[in-house]
Amino acid sequence: MRRKHQKGRKTGLFIFLCIAVFIVSFAGSAIFKMAYTSHKMRKYSVDWSDEIGTVYKDFAYGEKTAQKFDLYVPADNTKDTYGLVVYLHAGGFTTGDKADDKEMLQWLCSKGYVAAGINYTLRDENHPKANVYSQSEEIKASIPFVVKEAKKLGYPVDRMAISGGSAGGCLALLYAYRDADTSPVPVKMVFEAVGPASFYAEDWAVYGLDQDPEAAAGLFGTMAGKKITPAMLQTAEYEKIIKDISAYMWVNENTVPTVCAYGAYDKVCPFDSSKHLKKALEKNNVTHEYIVFPHSGHALQNDDKCYIQYMDKVVEYLDTYMAN
Protein backbone atom coordinates (compact mmCIF):
# COMPACT_ATOMS: atom_id res chain seq x y z
CA MET A 1 0.00 0.00 0.00
CA ARG A 2 2.86 2.28 0.90
CA ARG A 3 4.56 1.57 -2.42
CA LYS A 4 1.40 2.50 -4.32
CA HIS A 5 1.16 5.73 -2.37
CA GLN A 6 4.78 6.59 -3.13
CA LYS A 7 4.28 5.77 -6.81
CA GLY A 8 1.24 8.01 -6.91
CA ARG A 9 3.18 10.86 -5.34
CA LYS A 10 6.02 10.45 -7.86
CA THR A 11 3.60 10.42 -10.78
CA GLY A 12 1.82 13.48 -9.47
CA LEU A 13 5.13 15.28 -9.06
CA PHE A 14 6.12 14.37 -12.62
CA ILE A 15 2.87 15.74 -13.99
CA PHE A 16 3.38 18.94 -12.02
CA LEU A 17 6.95 19.30 -13.30
CA CYS A 18 5.85 18.56 -16.86
CA ILE A 19 3.22 21.29 -16.72
CA ALA A 20 5.67 23.69 -15.07
CA VAL A 21 8.34 23.09 -17.72
CA PHE A 22 5.81 23.67 -20.49
CA ILE A 23 4.56 26.90 -18.95
CA VAL A 24 8.04 28.27 -18.20
CA SER A 25 9.26 27.35 -21.69
CA PHE A 26 6.32 29.02 -23.38
CA ALA A 27 6.46 32.09 -21.16
CA GLY A 28 10.18 32.48 -21.65
CA SER A 29 10.15 32.28 -25.43
CA ALA A 30 10.97 35.52 -27.22
CA ILE A 31 8.40 35.08 -29.94
CA PHE A 32 8.26 37.07 -33.12
CA LYS A 33 9.07 40.60 -32.07
CA MET A 34 8.90 43.33 -34.69
CA ALA A 35 11.95 44.95 -33.08
CA TYR A 36 14.11 43.02 -35.55
CA THR A 37 14.99 45.70 -38.10
CA SER A 38 17.50 44.46 -40.66
CA HIS A 39 17.57 46.39 -43.92
CA LYS A 40 15.05 44.03 -45.52
CA MET A 41 12.77 44.03 -42.48
CA ARG A 42 12.52 47.78 -42.03
CA LYS A 43 9.51 47.85 -44.31
CA TYR A 44 7.71 45.88 -41.59
CA SER A 45 8.30 48.47 -38.90
CA VAL A 46 7.33 52.10 -38.52
CA ASP A 47 8.49 55.20 -36.66
CA TRP A 48 5.26 55.84 -34.81
CA SER A 49 3.89 59.39 -34.60
CA ASP A 50 0.59 61.26 -34.53
CA GLU A 51 0.85 61.56 -38.30
CA ILE A 52 0.40 57.78 -38.55
CA GLY A 53 -2.27 57.18 -35.95
CA THR A 54 -3.51 57.35 -32.38
CA VAL A 55 -3.59 54.77 -29.60
CA TYR A 56 -6.55 54.43 -27.25
CA LYS A 57 -5.81 52.17 -24.32
CA ASP A 58 -7.63 49.93 -21.88
CA PHE A 59 -11.17 49.70 -23.16
CA ALA A 60 -13.06 47.15 -21.07
CA TYR A 61 -14.89 44.19 -22.57
CA GLY A 62 -15.74 42.54 -19.26
CA GLU A 63 -15.54 42.92 -15.51
CA LYS A 64 -12.30 41.00 -14.94
CA THR A 65 -9.09 42.97 -14.53
CA ALA A 66 -7.43 41.52 -17.61
CA GLN A 67 -10.41 42.03 -19.90
CA LYS A 68 -9.07 45.11 -21.64
CA PHE A 69 -8.02 46.02 -25.18
CA ASP A 70 -6.14 48.79 -26.98
CA LEU A 71 -7.07 50.31 -30.33
CA TYR A 72 -4.62 51.78 -32.82
CA VAL A 73 -6.53 53.89 -35.34
CA PRO A 74 -5.05 55.48 -38.49
CA ALA A 75 -4.77 59.23 -38.88
CA ASP A 76 -6.97 59.05 -41.98
CA ASN A 77 -10.50 58.97 -40.61
CA THR A 78 -12.25 59.81 -43.88
CA LYS A 79 -13.04 56.31 -45.09
CA ASP A 80 -16.54 54.85 -45.01
CA THR A 81 -15.27 51.55 -43.60
CA TYR A 82 -12.06 50.03 -42.27
CA GLY A 83 -10.53 46.64 -41.86
CA LEU A 84 -9.79 45.44 -38.33
CA VAL A 85 -6.69 43.37 -37.54
CA VAL A 86 -6.51 41.78 -34.09
CA TYR A 87 -3.12 40.65 -32.76
CA LEU A 88 -3.02 38.42 -29.64
CA HIS A 89 0.05 38.37 -27.42
CA ALA A 90 2.33 35.46 -26.61
CA GLY A 91 3.31 34.22 -23.14
CA GLY A 92 2.44 30.57 -22.65
CA PHE A 93 -1.10 31.39 -21.52
CA THR A 94 0.44 32.51 -18.20
CA THR A 95 2.12 35.83 -18.92
CA GLY A 96 2.35 38.59 -21.52
CA ASP A 97 0.45 41.76 -22.31
CA LYS A 98 -1.06 43.56 -25.28
CA ALA A 99 1.62 46.23 -24.93
CA ASP A 100 4.26 43.63 -25.85
CA ASP A 101 3.12 43.82 -29.47
CA LYS A 102 2.94 47.56 -29.91
CA GLU A 103 5.44 47.49 -32.82
CA MET A 104 3.30 45.01 -34.72
CA LEU A 105 0.11 46.93 -33.93
CA GLN A 106 1.69 50.22 -34.97
CA TRP A 107 2.84 48.71 -38.26
CA LEU A 108 -0.63 47.30 -38.98
CA CYS A 109 -2.18 50.66 -38.21
CA SER A 110 0.30 52.36 -40.56
CA LYS A 111 -1.13 50.21 -43.35
CA GLY A 112 -4.55 51.76 -42.77
CA TYR A 113 -6.11 49.12 -40.54
CA VAL A 114 -7.70 49.55 -37.16
CA ALA A 115 -5.42 47.36 -35.04
CA ALA A 116 -6.42 45.84 -31.72
CA GLY A 117 -4.34 44.25 -28.97
CA ILE A 118 -6.44 42.24 -26.53
CA ASN A 119 -5.58 40.96 -23.06
CA TYR A 120 -7.10 37.82 -21.56
CA THR A 121 -7.09 36.28 -18.10
CA LEU A 122 -3.78 34.51 -17.60
CA ARG A 123 -3.32 31.28 -15.70
CA ASP A 124 -1.45 32.27 -12.53
CA GLU A 125 -1.70 32.00 -8.77
CA ASN A 126 -4.62 34.42 -8.76
CA HIS A 127 -6.42 32.63 -11.57
CA PRO A 128 -5.51 28.93 -11.22
CA LYS A 129 -8.51 27.80 -13.24
CA ALA A 130 -7.78 29.91 -16.32
CA ASN A 131 -7.03 27.73 -19.33
CA VAL A 132 -6.79 27.79 -23.10
CA TYR A 133 -10.53 27.25 -23.52
CA SER A 134 -11.54 30.00 -21.07
CA GLN A 135 -9.08 32.38 -22.72
CA SER A 136 -10.47 31.59 -26.16
CA GLU A 137 -13.95 32.33 -24.85
CA GLU A 138 -12.75 35.72 -23.61
CA ILE A 139 -11.37 36.57 -27.04
CA LYS A 140 -14.68 35.53 -28.56
CA ALA A 141 -16.54 37.81 -26.14
CA SER A 142 -14.20 40.75 -26.76
CA ILE A 143 -14.64 41.18 -30.52
CA PRO A 144 -18.11 42.83 -30.45
CA PHE A 145 -16.74 45.38 -27.97
CA VAL A 146 -13.73 46.06 -30.20
CA VAL A 147 -15.99 46.66 -33.20
CA LYS A 148 -18.31 48.88 -31.17
CA GLU A 149 -15.54 51.07 -29.75
CA ALA A 150 -13.90 51.46 -33.16
CA LYS A 151 -17.18 52.72 -34.56
CA LYS A 152 -17.59 55.17 -31.66
CA LEU A 153 -14.16 56.58 -32.48
CA GLY A 154 -15.26 57.13 -36.09
CA TYR A 155 -13.81 53.98 -37.62
CA PRO A 156 -16.60 51.60 -38.65
CA VAL A 157 -15.15 48.19 -39.47
CA ASP A 158 -16.79 45.73 -41.84
CA ARG A 159 -14.16 42.97 -42.04
CA MET A 160 -11.39 41.58 -39.91
CA ALA A 161 -8.28 39.43 -39.71
CA ILE A 162 -6.91 37.88 -36.54
CA SER A 163 -3.37 36.95 -35.64
CA GLY A 164 -0.93 36.18 -32.84
CA GLY A 165 2.26 34.49 -31.82
CA SER A 166 2.68 31.31 -29.76
CA ALA A 167 -0.17 31.25 -27.22
CA GLY A 168 -1.73 34.15 -29.13
CA GLY A 169 -1.39 32.17 -32.34
CA CYS A 170 -3.32 29.30 -30.78
CA LEU A 171 -6.11 31.66 -29.70
CA ALA A 172 -6.17 33.37 -33.09
CA LEU A 173 -6.60 30.05 -34.89
CA LEU A 174 -9.41 29.05 -32.54
CA TYR A 175 -11.30 32.25 -33.22
CA ALA A 176 -10.76 32.10 -36.98
CA TYR A 177 -11.72 28.43 -37.30
CA ARG A 178 -14.10 27.74 -34.41
CA ASP A 179 -15.77 31.07 -33.68
CA ALA A 180 -15.78 33.00 -36.98
CA ASP A 181 -19.49 32.40 -37.44
CA THR A 182 -20.17 34.40 -34.25
CA SER A 183 -18.09 37.39 -35.31
CA PRO A 184 -19.92 40.73 -35.67
CA VAL A 185 -17.96 41.29 -38.91
CA PRO A 186 -16.71 38.71 -41.41
CA VAL A 187 -13.35 37.09 -40.64
CA LYS A 188 -11.36 37.19 -43.88
CA MET A 189 -8.06 35.54 -42.90
CA VAL A 190 -5.73 34.50 -40.09
CA PHE A 191 -1.97 34.66 -39.74
CA GLU A 192 0.03 33.26 -36.86
CA ALA A 193 3.41 31.91 -35.75
CA VAL A 194 4.14 28.79 -33.66
CA GLY A 195 0.70 28.50 -32.11
CA PRO A 196 -0.20 24.97 -30.94
CA ALA A 197 -3.09 23.62 -33.00
CA SER A 198 -3.33 20.02 -31.74
CA PHE A 199 -2.74 18.03 -28.57
CA TYR A 200 -1.72 14.40 -28.96
CA ALA A 201 0.78 12.76 -26.63
CA GLU A 202 2.82 11.24 -29.46
CA ASP A 203 3.41 14.69 -30.94
CA TRP A 204 4.56 16.11 -27.60
CA ALA A 205 7.38 13.62 -27.04
CA VAL A 206 9.77 16.44 -26.11
CA TYR A 207 7.97 16.52 -22.76
CA GLY A 208 7.98 12.74 -22.45
CA LEU A 209 4.22 12.65 -22.88
CA ASP A 210 4.38 9.80 -25.37
CA GLN A 211 5.82 7.62 -22.61
CA ASP A 212 3.68 8.81 -19.71
CA PRO A 213 -0.11 8.80 -20.20
CA GLU A 214 -0.71 10.31 -16.75
CA ALA A 215 1.50 13.28 -17.53
CA ALA A 216 -0.19 13.75 -20.91
CA ALA A 217 -3.63 13.61 -19.33
CA GLY A 218 -2.52 16.09 -16.67
CA LEU A 219 -1.06 18.64 -19.07
CA PHE A 220 -3.81 18.50 -21.69
CA GLY A 221 -6.50 18.46 -19.02
CA THR A 222 -4.98 21.60 -17.53
CA MET A 223 -4.99 23.30 -20.92
CA ALA A 224 -8.54 22.25 -21.75
CA GLY A 225 -9.87 23.02 -18.27
CA LYS A 226 -11.48 19.59 -18.05
CA LYS A 227 -10.78 16.31 -16.33
CA ILE A 228 -8.85 13.94 -18.57
CA THR A 229 -7.69 10.52 -17.39
CA PRO A 230 -4.99 8.35 -18.98
CA ALA A 231 -7.69 5.89 -20.05
CA MET A 232 -9.37 8.61 -22.14
CA LEU A 233 -6.34 9.20 -24.37
CA GLN A 234 -6.75 7.97 -27.94
CA THR A 235 -10.52 7.60 -27.52
CA ALA A 236 -13.49 9.36 -29.07
CA GLU A 237 -14.21 10.85 -25.66
CA TYR A 238 -10.77 12.47 -25.60
CA GLU A 239 -11.24 13.82 -29.12
CA LYS A 240 -14.50 15.43 -28.06
CA ILE A 241 -12.95 17.05 -24.98
CA ILE A 242 -9.83 18.31 -26.70
CA LYS A 243 -11.66 19.69 -29.74
CA ASP A 244 -12.49 22.90 -27.90
CA ILE A 245 -8.80 23.88 -27.91
CA SER A 246 -7.58 22.05 -31.04
CA ALA A 247 -7.83 24.47 -33.94
CA TYR A 248 -7.07 21.92 -36.65
CA MET A 249 -10.23 19.96 -35.77
CA TRP A 250 -12.35 22.90 -36.88
CA VAL A 251 -10.85 23.22 -40.35
CA ASN A 252 -13.32 22.63 -43.18
CA GLU A 253 -13.88 23.68 -46.77
CA ASN A 254 -15.07 27.11 -45.59
CA THR A 255 -12.06 27.87 -43.41
CA VAL A 256 -10.52 31.28 -44.01
CA PRO A 257 -7.17 31.73 -45.81
CA THR A 258 -4.28 31.09 -43.47
CA VAL A 259 -0.62 32.04 -43.17
CA CYS A 260 1.32 30.14 -40.51
CA ALA A 261 4.95 29.67 -39.52
CA TYR A 262 6.62 26.92 -37.48
CA GLY A 263 10.16 26.10 -36.42
CA ALA A 264 11.46 22.65 -37.33
CA TYR A 265 13.41 22.52 -34.05
CA ASP A 266 10.68 23.94 -31.85
CA LYS A 267 10.75 22.19 -28.48
CA VAL A 268 8.14 24.42 -26.87
CA CYS A 269 5.29 24.02 -29.34
CA PRO A 270 6.54 20.72 -30.82
CA PHE A 271 6.89 20.89 -34.58
CA ASP A 272 5.10 17.54 -35.04
CA SER A 273 1.93 19.05 -33.59
CA SER A 274 1.76 21.52 -36.48
CA LYS A 275 1.57 18.74 -39.05
CA HIS A 276 -2.07 18.05 -38.18
CA LEU A 277 -2.88 21.64 -39.10
CA LYS A 278 -1.02 21.35 -42.39
CA LYS A 279 -2.85 18.13 -43.31
CA ALA A 280 -6.24 19.59 -42.41
CA LEU A 281 -5.65 22.69 -44.53
CA GLU A 282 -4.52 20.58 -47.48
CA LYS A 283 -7.35 18.05 -47.14
CA ASN A 284 -9.98 20.78 -47.20
CA ASN A 285 -8.33 22.76 -49.99
CA VAL A 286 -7.97 25.84 -47.82
CA THR A 287 -5.88 28.63 -49.31
CA HIS A 288 -2.83 28.74 -47.08
CA GLU A 289 0.90 29.21 -46.61
CA TYR A 290 2.60 26.79 -44.21
CA ILE A 291 6.12 28.11 -43.79
CA VAL A 292 8.74 25.96 -42.07
CA PHE A 293 11.79 27.60 -40.52
CA PRO A 294 14.25 24.71 -41.04
CA HIS A 295 16.96 25.83 -38.59
CA SER A 296 14.85 27.51 -35.90
CA GLY A 297 13.18 26.76 -32.62
CA HIS A 298 10.19 28.47 -31.03
CA ALA A 299 11.55 31.99 -31.48
CA LEU A 300 12.07 31.47 -35.24
CA GLN A 301 15.48 32.98 -34.72
CA ASN A 302 17.77 31.30 -37.25
CA ASP A 303 16.03 31.75 -40.60
CA ASP A 304 15.93 35.40 -41.60
CA LYS A 305 14.88 34.60 -45.17
CA CYS A 306 11.92 32.60 -43.91
CA TYR A 307 10.97 35.46 -41.59
CA ILE A 308 10.88 37.79 -44.57
CA GLN A 309 8.94 35.20 -46.58
CA TYR A 310 6.38 34.95 -43.77
CA MET A 311 5.89 38.71 -43.55
CA ASP A 312 5.74 39.04 -47.33
CA LYS A 313 2.93 36.48 -47.38
CA VAL A 314 1.14 38.26 -44.55
CA VAL A 315 1.14 41.45 -46.60
CA GLU A 316 0.05 39.59 -49.74
CA TYR A 317 -2.87 37.97 -47.93
CA LEU A 318 -3.87 41.21 -46.21
CA ASP A 319 -3.85 43.06 -49.53
CA THR A 320 -5.87 40.28 -51.17
CA TYR A 321 -8.44 39.33 -48.55
CA MET A 322 -8.75 42.51 -46.49
CA ALA A 323 -9.15 44.84 -49.48
CA ASN A 324 -12.10 47.22 -49.23
| Prediction pTM value | 0.92
* C-alpha to C-alpha distance for 56 and 313, rounded to whole angstroms: 29
d(Cα 260, Cα 62) in Å, to the nearest integer?
A: 30
- Which range of 43-47, 112-116, 298-302 scores highest in mean pLDDT? It is 112-116
Element containing residue 290 per DSSP (H, E): strand 288-293
**Nearest CA among 173, 226, 221 for reference residue 195:** 173
Of 187 and 301, the structure prediction assigns the larger pLDDT to: 187
Q: Which band of pLDDT confidence, cut at 50, 70 and 90, is reported for residue 41?
A: confident
- Inform me whether the pLDDT recorded for 14 exceeds 50: no
pLDDT at 4 exceeding the cut of 70: no
Quick one: pLDDT band at residue 32, thresholds 50, 70, 90? very low
DSSP state, residue 124 = B
42 pLDDT tier (thresholds 50, 70, 90): confident
Residue 82: is its pLDDT beyond 90?
yes
Using alpha carbons, select from 102, 119, 118 the residue that is nearest to residue 52.
102
pLDDT recorded at residue 106: 98
Among 177, 227, 229, residue whose Cα is nearest residue 198: 177
Phi, psi of 118 (to 5 degrees): -120, 130
Mean pLDDT of all residues in 9-33: 47
Name 115's bridge partners.
72, 85
Number of neighbours of residue 70 by Cβ within 10 angstroms: 21
Q: What percent of the chain has pLDDT over 90?
A: 85
Residue 18 in this model has a pLDDT that exceeds 90: no
Angle between helices 213-224 and 2-28 (to 10 degrees): 50
- Strands 68-74, 53-60: pairing is antiparallel
Mean pLDDT of the chain: 90
Q: Which stretches within the chain are classed as H helix?
A: 2-28, 102-110, 132-152, 167-178, 213-224, 236-242, 271-283, 304-321
What is the distance of C-alpha 278 from the center of its chain? 16
Instruction: State the pLDDT at residue 43.
Output: 85
Please, which residues bridge with residue 258 across strands? 190, 288
Provide the 3-class DSSP secondary structure of residue 324.
coil
Mean pLDDT of 47-57: 97
Checking if the pLDDT of 30 tops 90, the result is no
Nearest residue to 88 via CA among 168, 31, 161: 168
pLDDT of 27 reads 47
pLDDT at 119: 98
The pLDDT of residue 38: 60
Judge contact between 9 and 78, C-beta under 8 A.
no
Res 147: pLDDT = 98
What pLDDT shows up at residue 2? 44
CA distance 286 to 256: 7
Instruction: Please report, rounded to a whole number, the percentage of residues in the chain having pLDDT higher than 70.
Output: 88
Q: Which of 27-31, 67-71, 75-79, 250-254 shows the lowest per-residue confidence on average (mean pLDDT)? A: 27-31
256 vs 31: which has the higher pLDDT: 256
List, as one string, the DSSP characters of 176-210. HHHSGGG-SS-EEEEEEES------GGGGGGGTTT
Between the two ends of the chain, the Cα-to-Cα distance in Å is 69
Encode pLDDT of 91-137 as tens digits.
Answer: 999 999 999 999 999 999 999 999 999 999 999 999 999 999 999 99
Q: In the predicted model, what is the mean pLDDT of residues 168-177?
A: 98
Tell the burial category of 210 from Cβ atoms under 10 Å away from its Cβ (0-12, 13-18, 19+): middle
Q: Could you give the CA distance from residue 108 to residue 106 in angstroms, rounded to a whole number?
A: 5
Specify burial of residue 8 (Cβ count, 10 A radius: 0-12, 13-18, 19+): exposed
Q: What is the pLDDT of residues 241-250, one digit of tens each?
A: 999 999 999 9
Name the pLDDT band for 19 (thresholds 50, 70, 90): low
